[in-house]
Amino acid sequence: MSLFKTVVAATINSGKGSSRNMRLRPLLSCAPVALAWDRGAHSQDITKNIQYISNEKVKLTTDPKTMKLDKQLNRPTCVMINWLLARQKHVMKYANLYLEQGFDVISVSCTPWQLMWPLKGTQLVAADLIKFMTANENDQPTVLHGFSVGGYVWGEVCAQVMDNKQLYKSVIDRVAAQVWDSAADITEISIGVPAAVFPKNKIMQKTLKAYMDYHLKTFHDAATVHYIRSSQLFHTNLCRAPALFLLSSSDPVGAERSNRNVYESWVKMGIKCTWQCWDRSPHVQHFTKHRDEYVALVRAHIRDHVVLAQQEKSRAHA
């Protein structure tokens, strides 16, 4: 088993590195325009797992102790929590949905290794994220857009908030809208990780799934209990912003059943939820398969719960 784990770890860690400085066209409204590429956007690393993407090409420096940026851009922000081994060019396609509307994007990722060992992995990523959000809080709205295991990572963020509500709760309360694309629960983790690591190799998927099942049973205290707590916190989300669910009936990872459970839990808590479940489209590929509808849903969600809310707020202050 030790040799097998070494091979798996080497394979998992091989999925690193991506292109940088891919740029997009900055737009100023929610108008239905084509998602086109040009040289408008600039990206830079905040940590190994957090990247800042903006239409403005400005060099940012982060204080490693406080996570505070040396320049405050004072723009609305989208916190985008990505799926496993997401490629930069694919992340940028989603980031463009927000960049074109004048948002900056905080792109968050985690590796399969970090997912499998939460204490030294995803919990540190979650701690950095909430610390970064708190240190750079401004009067502009925040949108949360998560994919797949992003639901688990957000559960770990909620755990950080629960441990220090006085410091972090106000940041969560300022989230104006949330979008969940193919959110995966603990019950799908042993399906989702192999599919992400070996997307075209069914034999290796089965091999890694067998190890994941072994991992969940063997390392209960080091891993599984944290997955369970994160799942519980995701179902009782501290963020009460209006939510948009994007998924498909054919996706075994972001399963309809588990997403429906979350949806119903949030509705009971009074969270305004919008449900879009397509009949057939692969995991985190709904944007590709249903592009126009996906874009229209996200834009409408932002318009109704962020743009119009900000306009009403401005009129009230005036």
| CATH number of residue 36's parent domain | 3.40.50.1820
Q: For all residues of the chain together, what is the average pLDDT?
A: 87
22-78 pLDDT, tens per residue?
Answer: 333 333 333 333 344 445 689 999 999 999 999 988 899 999 899 999 998 889 999
For 213-279, give the secondary structure using H, E and C. Answer: HHHHHHCHHHHHHHHHHHHHHHHCCCCCCCEEEEEECCCCCCCHHHHHHHHHHHHHCCCCEEEEEEC
Indicate the helix (H) or strand (E) that contains 54. strand 50-54
Q: pTM score, two decimals?
A: 0.86
pLDDT of amino acid 15: 42
User: How many CB atoms are closer than 10 A to CB 196?
Assistant: 24
Number of domains forming the structure of the chain? 1
Mean pLDDT of 274-298: 96
CB neighbours of 66 closer than 8 A, spacing ≥ 6? Answer: 131, 135
Parent domain of 152: 2-317
Mean pLDDT of 110-133: 96
pLDDT of amino acid 29: 35
Q: Are 284 and 83 in contact (CB under 8 A)?
A: yes
C-alpha–C-alpha distance, residues 99 and 120, integer Å:
32
Single-letter code of the amino acid located at 34? A
pLDDT of amino acid 317: 66
Angle at CA of residue 162, ends 157 and 165, nearest 5°: 105
pLDDT of amino acid 39: 53
Classify 141 as helix, strand or coil: coil
User: What's the distance, CA 211 to chain centroid?
Assistant: 25
